[in-house]
């Protein structure tokens, strides 16, 4: 059984126009799509039932939430969601169902099976929200087909043309939220030492040098001289083995006890993340310690006027505030980033946007009971487009406007990041969609008494 298909759950026929559009777009991006309208689409005519499609082939379910589909009388939609929820539990995939809000249906009216899931809001424009959906699918490693999709695409295109949505074979750019890694460090070092593991661990953690203890050894990308400079006498480390990153990740290194492949990947990922976080601190960002991943935020005054100027992917020169003052909440807000690394291939860094708050513009408030209500109100109308623009501005700031950015790991090794976010190219284009939106002004703060459901855009909402 192969799970390689995205199942679209929707109200037929009321929401078919949107599903035609979405199915054509996702097929054009290489995904296999199934939807219950106008026959079986997405290259899967052998499926006889919706239940078979859900139980046996679906890797993700996109639920199109609309005023029609949320109606409790739409038993077909409810049945599909029920099966999808059962599959979600069997697969142990909490993100198996992806709700998509099509119109101004209230979030409180969502079926209970999806009521607590983060929704992507297409109600204010289809094209501008597609980027977030593509990013969600890519982050979840949803497979793309490796065979010719022309026939499948033509089926979707013909239905899309009926709704005056013209699909062409022109390429189009789509901006992702990932920072590509252009070059990884070449070498991994195994060091031995003359002290007990606890003492070595304490001394090096205070220094901030990234390392991983492994039995009586240390694994690191850092240089031996830097390690020894951080160790108080009589502690000393010496090189045991130096190997290529490729050999290390394979779990096969001669003449030394080495982690298996899975552990080696986790160690390398953690070390690179620590090096990046260390670099962010050296660039002047401050750390807000949290469970899981720490957030690194811009303090007031780090950049001139607290604005980062940059050339957006749309080709327009603009700027973004990274620190501001909320008059209603009587606090400073600070753009922050959480770091995660994927070795791939392809290898990339995800800088996940977050918002910290402070009373003085410098020291972040750490009490989640205080910051969570502020974040709900303040970030409520920061839609996906705004978060992506903040990521663009951050990437340019980090690279200081250059096409690449070098993060020094030791005297000879570098981690090289692209100076811009990853730009993907789709093979087909739907005329009238906007992949690179014009940069809007800074969003207004929401009303204090507006308690509607909060949409977390790229984890920009509540995350304490």
Q: Determine what percent of the chain falls in helix, strand and coil, rounding each to the nearest 5.
A: 30, 25, 45
Give mean pLDDT, residues 8-13: 88
Give the tens place of pLDDT for each residue, 107-133: 889 999 998 888 888 887 676 678 788
pLDDT in the model for residue 435 = 43
Residue whose C-alpha is closest to residue 218's, from 206, 208, 227, 229: 227
For the chain, where do the domains classified as CATH 3.40.50.10140 start and end?
5-168
Q: What are phi and psi of 178, to 5 degrees?
A: -110, 145
* Per-chain mean pLDDT for the chain: 82
pLDDT range class, residue 29, cuts 50, 70, 90 = confident
More reliable by pLDDT, 339 or 443: 339
Taking a C-beta distance cutoff of 8 angstroms, is the pair 143, 123 a contact?
Answer: no
- C-alpha to C-alpha distance for 408 and 405, rounded to whole angstroms: 10
pLDDT in the model for residue 178 = 83
pLDDT at residue 42 tops 90: no
Give the tens place of pLDDT for each residue, 160-181: 555 444 555 556 566 677 899 9
pLDDT in the model for residue 190 = 96
pLDDT at residue 47 tops 90: no
Q: Provide the 3-class DSSP secondary structure of residue 22.
A: helix
pLDDT in the model for residue 388 = 79
pLDDT in the model for residue 440 = 37
Q: What are phi and psi of 358, to 5 degrees?
A: -145, 160
Give mean pLDDT, residues 25-41: 73
pLDDT at residue 395 tops 70: yes
| In the block, residue with structure tokens 């083995």 | 241
Taking a C-beta distance cutoff of 8 angstroms, is the pair 12, 41 a contact?
Answer: no
pLDDT at residue 431 tops 60: no
More reliable by pLDDT, 215 or 462: 215
Question: Which uninterrupted H or E stretch holds 138?
Answer: helix 126-139
Top CATH class of 5-168 equals alpha beta
pLDDT in the model for residue 157 = 55
Taking a C-beta distance cutoff of 8 angstroms, is the pair 138, 131 a contact?
Answer: no
Q: How far is CA 401 from CA 320, 394, 395, in A?
A: 14, 10, 9
Q: Is the pTM of this model over 0.95?
A: no
Give the tens place of pLDDT for each residue, 256-314: 889 999 999 999 999 999 999 999 999 999 999 988 789 999 999 999 999 999 887 66
Query: Residues 415-452, buried b or exposed e (16+ Cβ, 10 A)?
Result: bebbbbbbebebebbbeebebbbebeeeeebbeeeeee
pLDDT range class, residue 31, cuts 50, 70, 90 = confident
């Amino acid at each position: 059984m192969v799970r390689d298909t995205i199942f679209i759950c929707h109200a037929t026929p009321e929401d078919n126009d949107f599903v035609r559009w979405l199915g054509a777009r996702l097929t054009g991006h290489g995904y296999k799509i199934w939807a219950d309208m106008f026959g079986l689409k997405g290259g899967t005519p052998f499926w006889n039932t919706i239940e078979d499609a859900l139980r046996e082939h679906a890797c993700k379910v996109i639920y199109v939430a609309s005023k029609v589909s949320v109606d409790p009388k739409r038993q077909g939609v409810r049945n599909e969601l029920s099966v999808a929820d059962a599959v979600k539990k069997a697969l142990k995939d909490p993100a198996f169902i992806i709700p998509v809000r099509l119109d101004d249906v209230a979030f409180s009216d969502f079926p209970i099976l999806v009521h607590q899931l983060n929704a992507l809001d297409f109600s204010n424009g289809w094209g501008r929200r597609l980027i977030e959906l593509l990013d969600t699918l890519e982050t979840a490693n949803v497979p793309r087909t490796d065979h010719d999709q022309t026939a499948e695409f033509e089926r979707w295109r013909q239905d899309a043309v009926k709704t005056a949505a013209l699909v062409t074979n022109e390429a189009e750019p789509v901006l992702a939220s990932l920072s590509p890694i252009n070059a990884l460090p070449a070498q991994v070092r195994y060091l031995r030492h003359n002290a007990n593991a606890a003492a070595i661990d304490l001394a090096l953690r205070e220094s901030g040098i990234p390392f991983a203890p492994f039995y009586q050894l240390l694994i690191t990308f850092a240089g031996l001289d830097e390690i020894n400079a951080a160790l108080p006498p009589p502690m000393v480390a010496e090189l045991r083995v130096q190997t290529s990153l490729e050999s290390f990740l394979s779990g096969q290194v001669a003449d030394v006890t080495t982690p298996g492949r899975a552990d080696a990947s986790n160690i390398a990922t953690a070390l690179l993340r620590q090096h990046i976080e260390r670099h962010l601190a050296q660039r002047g960002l401050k750390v807000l310690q949290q469970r899981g991943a720490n957030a690194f935020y811009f303090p007031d005054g780090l950049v001139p006027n607290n604005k980062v100027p940059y050339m957006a992917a749309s080709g327009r020169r603009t700027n973004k505030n990274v620190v501001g003052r909320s008059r209603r909440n009587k606090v400073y807000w600070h753009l922050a980033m959480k770091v995660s690394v994927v070795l791939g291939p392809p290898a990339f860094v995800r800088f996940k946007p977050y918002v910290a708050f402070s009373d003085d513009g410098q020291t972040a408030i750490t009490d989640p009971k205080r910051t969570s209500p502020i974040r709900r109100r303040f970030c409520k109308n920061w839609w996906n487009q705004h978060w992506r623009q903040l990521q663009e501005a951050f990437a340019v700031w980090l690279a200081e406007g250059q096409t690449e950015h070098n993060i020094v790991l030791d005297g000879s090794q570098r981690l090289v990041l692209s100076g811009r976010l990853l730009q993907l190219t789709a093979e087909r284009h739907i005329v009238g969609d906007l992949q690179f939106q014009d940069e809007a002004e800074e969003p207004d703060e929401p009303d204090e008494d507006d308690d509607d459901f909060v949409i977390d855009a790229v984890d920009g909402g509540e995350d304490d």
